């Protein structure tokens, strides 16, 4: 199924609130061309189509459809498709979870010698996701990928040397592997270098240097680095004791990756609209009651605004839902965010993912990034259910036009 720009574009025409000269919704590479090439058996087209379904950019995200197109390409030996399909089987997204099959597909993809695929296979072997852990084989694969210039693999190999897992413990090798990536900004490498300096493992103990490495990693949002930096501040290791800042770092680390931390009360806005004007709330309310989705969205946005004195998530959710039901993407996204946070509505990740998916399919900038960050808390079953719910909701929206 292919989605068009919503026929419900009546909302773009509502007078008053819309900035003039709206650009058309971002146009995608011709979808029909990809579809016909894929049907004709073109593996590259099949893979490209599958990727479009996997991300859900301009099309309704659907892991099951993505898996179908990946499978067609994987059968023809396309390594990219094998790697992606293997990951889907390991996670159980769009297909029933099947670790053995996933491992087989990742192995086939790795045979291409592409460093990224070597790395993905190594991760699965190291963590023992499909089989008992095999860190020695993982180390070998990391080494091959690292030699091909894959930074991520160099850092992962460094961890194995640092802990002596799958290889003989060798801090000097670990440091050598971390240094380049750390200097060029790799957060995990920075954090691990910090740990080495704390322990004085193979280098002189140096709390100040350690704190500096933790700080650089924490600045990039790595939760474990925030916790480590917090420990330094709590104890005054290499920095002045600052218990308040330590607590703040612990809090940030705990919140990272949760709905509360990821979105932090920020709602999406439709860049084509004039900014909402609190003084116009009365006018918005009246137009919203008359069924104008733009007014419904603006009123919802004012009510959900963290700075608003009259903040009311339940009312905001009601307005967003009304506008979402009339096809307005930004309202869908914000209703989705509220559903993830459980503010003003029942917390329901499936519902939240569903609305962000539909908003993303309509080309709303930022919707995919937020959806994927929030999805980190979801099970594969929830995501699959959300894919199905999005299909059903879209069908209902299209029918109501």
Residues forming contacts to another protein in the complex (CB under 8 A) are: 254, 258, 260, 314, 342-351, 377-379, 381-382
Residue 158, Cβ density class (10 Å: 0-12 exposed, 13-18 middle, ≥19 buried): buried
Report the half-sphere exposure of 217 (CA within 13 A, side-chain side).
29
CB atoms within 10 A of CB 41: 11
In the bound state with another protein, the residue whose beta carbon lies nearer, of 239 and 253, is 253
In the bound state with another protein, the residue whose beta carbon lies nearer, of 342 and 366, is 342
Q: Can you read off the two tokens belonging to residue 5? A: 């720009």
Q: How far is the CB of 355 from another protein (least distance, A)?
A: 15
In the bound state with another protein, the residue whose beta carbon lies nearer, of 276 and 352, is 352
Closest CA to 375 of 280, 216, 262, 297: 262
In the bound state with another protein, the residue whose beta carbon lies nearer, of 293 and 344, is 344
Q: How far is the CB of 313 from another protein (least distance, A)?
A: 8
Which residues on neighbouring strands pair with residue 273, listed in sequence order?
18
Q: How far is the CB of 374 from another protein (least distance, A)?
A: 12
Q: How far is the CB of 341 from another protein (least distance, A)?
A: 8
Any residues with CB less than 8 A from the CB of 60 and at least 6 apart, and which?
1, 3, 357, 358, 361, 390, 391, 394
In the bound state with another protein, the residue whose beta carbon lies nearer, of 8 and 385, is 385
Distance, in Å, from the CA atom of 292 to the CA atom of 282, rounded to the nearest integer, reads: 14
In the bound state with another protein, the residue whose beta carbon lies nearer, of 76 and 382, is 382
DSSP string, 299-357: HHHHHH-TT-TT--HHHHHHHHHHHHHTT-HHHHHHHHHHHHHTSSS---HHHHHHHHH
Q: How far is the CB of 298 from another protein (least distance, A)?
A: 23
Q: Map tokens 């087989």 to a residue.
A: 104
In the bound state with another protein, the residue whose beta carbon lies nearer, of 117 and 340, is 340
Q: How far is the CB of 388 from another protein (least distance, A)?
A: 14
Helices 367-374 & 349-361, crossing angle to 10 degrees? 160
Closest CA to 17 of 311, 330, 318: 330
- In 94-251, beta strands by DSSP E: none
Q: How far is the CB of 345 from another protein (least distance, A)?
A: 6
Q: Map tokens 């190999």 to a residue.
A: 157
User: Three-state DSSP class for 273?
Assistant: strand
Q: How far is the CB of 382 from another protein (least distance, A)?
A: 5
Q: How far is the CB of 230 from another protein (least distance, A)?
A: 17
Q: How far is the CB of 93 from another protein (least distance, A)?
A: 14
In the bound state with another protein, the residue whose beta carbon lies nearer, of 206 and 348, is 348
In the bound state with another protein, the residue whose beta carbon lies nearer, of 189 and 345, is 345
Q: Can you read off the two tokens belonging to residue 224? A: 């474990």
DSSP string, 167-230: S---HHHHHHHHHHHHHTT-HHHHHHHHHHHHHTSSS---HHHHHHHHHHHHHTT-HHHHHHHH
Any residues with CB less than 8 A from the CB of 183 and at least 6 apart, and which?
none
Distance, in Å, from the CA atom of 56 to the CA atom of 363, rounded to the nearest integer, reads: 9
Q: Mark 314-335 as b/e (b = at least 16 C-beta within 10 Å).
A: ebbbbbbbbbbbbbbbbbbbbb
In the bound state with another protein, the residue whose beta carbon lies nearer, of 97 and 171, is 97
């Amino acid at each position: 199924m292919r989605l068009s720009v919503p026929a419900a574009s009546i909302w773009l025409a509502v007078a008053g609130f819309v900035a003039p000269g709206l650009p058309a919704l971002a146009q995608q590479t011709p979808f029909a061309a990809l579809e016909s090439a894929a049907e004709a058996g073109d593996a590259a087209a099949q893979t490209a189509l599958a990727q479009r379904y996997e991300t859900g950019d301009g099309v309704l995200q659907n892991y099951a459809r993505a898996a179908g197109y990946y499978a067609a390409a994987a059968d023809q030996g396309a390594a990219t498709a094998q790697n992606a399909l293997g990951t889907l089987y390991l996670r159980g997204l769009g297909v029933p979870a099947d670790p053995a099959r996933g491992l087989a597909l990742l192995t086939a993809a790795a045979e291409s010698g592409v460093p990224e695929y070597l790395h993905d296979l190594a991760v699965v072997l190291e963590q023992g996701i499909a089989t008992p852990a095999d860190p020695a084989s993982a180390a070998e694969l990391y080494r091959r990928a690292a030699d091909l210039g894959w930074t991520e693999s160099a850092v992962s190999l460094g961890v194995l040397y640092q802990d002596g897992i799958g290889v003989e413990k060798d801090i000097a090798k670990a440091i050598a592997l971390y240094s380049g990536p750390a200097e060029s900004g790799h957060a995990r490498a920075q954090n691990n270098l910090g740990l080495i300096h704390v322990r004085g493992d193979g280098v002189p103990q140096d709390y100040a240097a350690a704190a500096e490495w933790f700080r650089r990693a924490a600045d990039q949002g790595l939760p474990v680095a925030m916790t480590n930096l917090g420990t330094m501040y709590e104890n005054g290791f290499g920095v002045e004791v600052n218990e308040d800042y330590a607590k703040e770092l612990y809090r940030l680390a705990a919140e990272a990756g949760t709905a509360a931390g990821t979105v932090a009360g920020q709602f999406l806005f439709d860049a084509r609209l004039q900014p909402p004007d609190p003084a116009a709330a009365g006018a918005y309310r009246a137009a919203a009651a008359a069924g104008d989705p733009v007014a419904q969205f603006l009123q919802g946005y004012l009510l959900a605004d963290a700075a608003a004195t009259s903040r009311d998530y339940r009312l905001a959710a009601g307005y967003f839902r009304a506008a979402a039901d009339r096809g307005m993407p930004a309202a869908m996204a914000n209703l989705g965010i509220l559903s993830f946070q459980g503010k003003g509505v029942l917390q329901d990740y499936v519902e939240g993912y569903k609305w962000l998916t539909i908003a993303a399919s309509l080309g709303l900038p930022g919707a995919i990034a937020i959806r994927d960050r929030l999805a980190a808390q979801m099970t594969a079953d929830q995501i699959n259910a959300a894919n199905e719910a999005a299909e059903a909701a879209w069908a209902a929206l299209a029918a109501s036009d």
